[in-house]
Amino acid sequence: MRRSKMLEKLRRGDAVVSVNLSLSPEPLAIEIAGRAGIDGVWIDTEHRPFAQREVAAMINAGRIADIDCYVRIRKGEGYTSFFRPLEDGATGILVPHVATREEAEWVSRNAKFPPLGRRGMETMMPDADLGFVDPFEYVEHANRETFVIIQIEDVEALDTVEEIAEVPGIDMFMIGPADLTFSMGIPLQLDHPDFKAAVRKIAAAAQANGKWWGLPVGDTEGVSKYYELGARFFNLGGDYGMLKQGCLKIRSDFDSVMGNDALDVDSVDIALP
């Protein structure tokens, strides 16, 4: 059974980086990221219309390229959405908008096997090497080598983050900067004192309970800033932004050669966290 590269690095104190590859259900994009040395791939089913078989094909490409894949689930689709990506071989799930201890307990219950939770048992899927391993070994391996990330992206979660952090089976926090700042009434103001205080509160709760935390960042300056606060898990960009930046550069370079008016990149390059 495959071991998680992200968890291996995090357990020895290193930082990890992922990219969001959710523009299309293209397995080759996952393999490219793996061959480039990226630690993990974020596959987003919350905001993308992926079918389960498409997600499974992307995860399989990750297994081939030996890169962790974690899937942001559609939380409202029921309890199977919590573990089906794991059965297909995903290394983790990302659960959006968790704001209470009860929600966090529900997430852990559905994503972890006993004694941590009550995940449904199936040993004939890729994560169990298609039934070629001892089931007891598989259960222990799955609880150890898969991770559950919950997103803190609602102002209400700031009041309960300490309680959420106490829940066994939750491995990491991901701050959702865009949604959290909108929820706080300070949309996209990442330098606002209230957002900075929220980050420090989330970081303190995670660290006090032995959990990792991180967030999407727009550049390496953001990595450095949050690393100093204790973040060890970063998502740095995605395929949409990579394609957009590439197209803008082609347009700009071409216009420069042809003597055309330069494109005002700042007017179209709006980077969300």
Please give the angle made by the CA atoms of 98, 241 and 171, to the nearest 5 degrees: 30
Alpha-carbon span 217 to 214, nearest angstrom: 9
Query: pTM for the whole thing?
Result: 0.92
**Domains of the chain: which residue ranges?**
5-238
Cβ neighbour number for residue 195 with a 10 Å cutoff: 18
Who contacts 69 (Cβ-Cβ below 8 Å, separation ≥6)? 30, 40, 41, 43, 58, 59, 62, 63, 89, 90, 91, 92
On the question of pLDDT at 262 being above 80, the answer is: no
CA distance to 7, 257, 260, 267, per residue, from 263 (Å) = 43, 13, 9, 9
Write out pLDDT tens, residues 33-65. 999 999 999 999 999 999 999 999 999 999 999
Q: Would you identify the CATH topology of the domain 5-238? A: TIM Barrel (3.20.20)
**63 Cα distance to chain centroid:** 17
Cβ neighbour number for residue 140 with a 10 Å cutoff: 12
Write out pLDDT tens, residues 129-177. 999 999 999 999 999 999 999 999 999 999 999 999 999 999 999 999 9
Report the mean per-residue pLDDT for the chain. Answer: 94
SS3 assignment, position 228 = helix
What's the farthest any 2 CA atoms get from each other in the chain?
A: 68
Can you give the pLDDT at residue 267?
A: 53
Q: How confident is the model at residue 77 (pLDDT cuts 50, 70, 90)?
A: confident
Percentages (nearest 5) of helix, strand, coil residues in the chain: 50, 15, 35
Alpha-carbon span 88 to 94, nearest angstrom: 15
Mean pLDDT value across residues 123-132 = 94
On the question of pLDDT at 272 being above 90, the answer is: no
